Amino acid sequence: MNKEERNTYTIETDENLGVVQIADEVVAIIAGLAAMEVEGVSSMAGNATRELIEKLGMKSLSKGVKVDVLEGIVTVSLALNLKYGRSIKETTMKVQEKVKAAIENMTGLTVADVNIRVAGVDMPDEE
């Protein structure tokens, strides 16, 4: 990603200490990590499974995440694959809560919306 393509957001300003900015990709990674922590989420739609994240690193987490920040208000859109047999409503509600809390706690930005698209359902591996 070119430097010109990266959006950054000021999260805290202090005239005496300077400015703190955060890249939108960082907000997307926070959202992806929070979503993957929820039981019932199999992967990000873009194949960012837990194993793949360990191998490829955090950047793969932002693949199924779109972040828009306007005047300190965040809108997040996630595309997820869920585990078969889990309640879609319950799982997605937990993801929304966890993503909102993670972004707000870590960045100080306000999350207005966490939109989720269920892209697929992963069947359990038969052993």
Q: CA angle, corner 54, sides to 87 and 95, nearest 5?
A: 25
pTM for the structure as a whole: 0.80
Helix (H) or strand (E) holding 91: helix 88-107
Per-residue pLDDT tens for 40-93?
A: 998 888 654 455 455 545 555 667 888 998 888 999 999 999 999 999 999 999
pLDDT at 1 exceeding the cut of 90:
no
3-state DSSP assignment of residue 33? helix
